[in-house]
């Protein structure tokens, strides 16, 4: 394979990935803003450990982290961190800057599955998350029935 055909394959794969996994901005454009997403924050400081985590249905490179009791944050990551990685995770660890106990942009979430394989997901953005707000599809359904 020559350099030109290698670049063409890479470009085609990147274009396909962009089509398959729409960004948050594209979803908002098509469906309106997600009422569960709150203000952007620059860090999450954990007193000891993450209390819980879960994936967001239909969204790759996103994990919800719980600090304390019902204090949720939406963490957007980069890397190959699809929804199923977080959904089936056995253990989640943090690789953050020393001396603060806080998670920030650029830090890493390490996700380990039942087979012992780990994935490194680099933090890009953090938002507050309202677990009790209706998901966009739920909100539209309630408007249609009223």
Mean pLDDT of the chain: 76
pLDDT of 5 > 60? The answer is no
CA atoms of 85 and 119, how far apart (whole Å): 8
Q: Please, what is the angle between helix 136-145 and helix 24-31, to 10°?
A: 0
Whether the pLDDT of residue 8 is over 90: the answer is no
The region, left, alpha or beta by phi > 0 then psi within -120 to 50, assigned to residue 74 is beta
Is residue 93 a contact partner of residue 61, using CB atoms and an 8 Å limit?
no
pLDDT given for residue 2 in this prediction: 46
Element (H, E) at 138: helix 136-145
Give pLDDT tens digits for 36-81: 999 999 999 877 778 899 999 999 999 999 998 889 999 999 988 9
- List, for residues 73-104, the tens digit of each pLDDT value: 999 999 889 999 999 999 898 888 776 678 99
- CA–CA gap between residue 20 and residue 60 (Å, rounded): 10
- Provide the pLDDT for residue 96: 80
34 contacts 135 by C-beta, under 8 angstroms = yes
DSSP H helices, 55-108, are: 83-87
Instruction: Give pTM, 2 decimals.
Output: 0.71
In the numeric block, which tokens belong to residue 89?
């995770």
pLDDT in tens, 9-37: 333 333 333 334 444 444 444 446 899 99
Split at pLDDT 50, 70, 90, the class of 107 is very high
Highest-scoring range by mean pLDDT, 96-105, 114-123, 124-133: 124-133
The beta strands (E) that lie in 21-116 are given as 37-41, 43-45, 52-55, 62-66, 72-78, 91-95, 102-104, 108-112
Q: What is the pLDDT of residue 115?
A: 80
């Amino acid at each position: 394979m020559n350099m030109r055909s290698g670049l063409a394959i890479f470009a085609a794969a990147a274009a396909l990935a962009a089509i398959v996994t729409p960004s948050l901005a594209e979803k908002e454009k098509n469906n309106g803003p997600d009422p569960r997403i709150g203000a952007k924050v620059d860090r999450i400081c954990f007193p000891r450990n993450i209390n819980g985590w879960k994936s967001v249905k239909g969204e790759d490179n996103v994990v919800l982290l719980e600090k304390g009791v019902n204090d949720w944050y939406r963490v957007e990551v980069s890397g190959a961190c699809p929804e199923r990685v977080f959904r089936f995770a056995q253990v989640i660890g943090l690789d953050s800057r020393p001396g603060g106990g806080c998670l920030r942009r650029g830090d890493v979430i390490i996700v380990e599955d039942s087979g012992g394989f780990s994935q490194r997901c680099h933090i890009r953005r953090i938002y507050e998350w309202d677990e009790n707000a209706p998901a966009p599809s739920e909100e539209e359904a309630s408007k249609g029935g009223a």
